[in-house]
Amino acid sequence: DRLEVEVDELVAGFMATQAPVALACRLMLAASKLSSDLERIGDQAVSIARRSLILMDEPPLKPLLDIPRMGADVLAMIRGATDAFVEITPEKCADIIKMDVRVDDINRQLERELTCFMVESPKTITRALNLMLVARFFERAADHAKNIAEQVYYLYTGQDIRHESEFSKV
């Protein structure tokens, strides 16, 4: 939280005193937005850890394949987006945006499966809801990683792809 505020203050100070142009303006805007998305990813990580501690003491409802896959995808998205920023490689952003669709699909499938568990056996409701929350937290972290990728793409190309359809992106 503190770092996000610090980045915003640095950006505002630079813009007020240096009169930046084009790429420099986009860099300042990107830095502010990236710090916000990274801070929110951190919040999601804390929420995942808290729910995971609760789930550790309970027997699994099903083999945990989807949640670890989501976690691996989200981690790859975060690394890919931050690497694209540092390495000035906006072409990497397309893969990150596509991965978000996969994470969304896994989340929806997991919600359907866990809802069936709850309907069939009400005693599983607490465990299923905790798993749904973990999946949702991963999905939100993926959304923030996608936001970073979109911002990096804009930074280096000048093309804003945030509100374009999935098929026309990058």
Counting the structural domains of the chain, the total is 1
Residue 164, domain member (yes or no): no
Which pair of tokens denotes residue 15?
A: 């813009």
- pLDDT tens per residue across span 42-77: 999 999 999 999 999 888 887 778 999 999 999 999
pLDDT of residue 23: 73
Q: Which domain holds residue 88?
A: 2-157
C-alpha to C-alpha distances, 16 to 2, 12, 22, 32, 116, nearest whole angstrom: 21, 6, 15, 15, 56
> Rounded to an integer, what distance in angstroms lies between the CA atom of residue 75 and that of residue 73?
5
pLDDT of residue 167: 41
Task: For the beta carbon of residue 82, count every other beta carbon within 10 angstroms.
Answer: 16
Q: Is the pLDDT of residue 160 over 70?
A: yes
Which pair of tokens denotes residue 104?
A: 């969304």
Chain CA centroid to CA 107, Å: 13
Alpha-carbon torsion (128, 133, 134, 140), positive or negative: positive
| Residues 6+ positions from 82 with CB-CB distance below 8 Å | 148
Residue 170, domain member (yes or no): no
Average pLDDT of span 7-31: 71
> Rounded to an integer, what distance in angstroms lies between the CA atom of residue 42 and that of residue 145?
11
Average pLDDT, the chain: 88
Task: For the beta carbon of residue 109, count every other beta carbon within 10 angstroms.
Answer: 12
Smallest CA-to-CA distance from 52 within 41, 38, 64 is with 64
The pTM of this model reads 0.84
Smallest CA-to-CA distance from 148 within 72, 102, 49, 79 is with 79
Residue 145, domain member (yes or no): yes
Q: Is the pLDDT of residue 30 over 50?
A: yes
Q: Is the pLDDT of residue 136 over 80?
A: yes
Task: For the beta carbon of residue 161, count every other beta carbon within 10 angstroms.
Answer: 19
> CATH number of the domain that 117 lies in?
1.20.58.220
Smallest CA-to-CA distance from 132 within 115, 144, 146 is with 115
Confidence of residue 165 (pLDDT cuts 50, 70, 90): low
- pLDDT tens per residue across span 110-128: 999 999 999 999 999 999 9
Average pLDDT of span 75-100: 96
- pLDDT tens per residue across span 35-44: 999 999 999 9
Residue 13, domain member (yes or no): yes
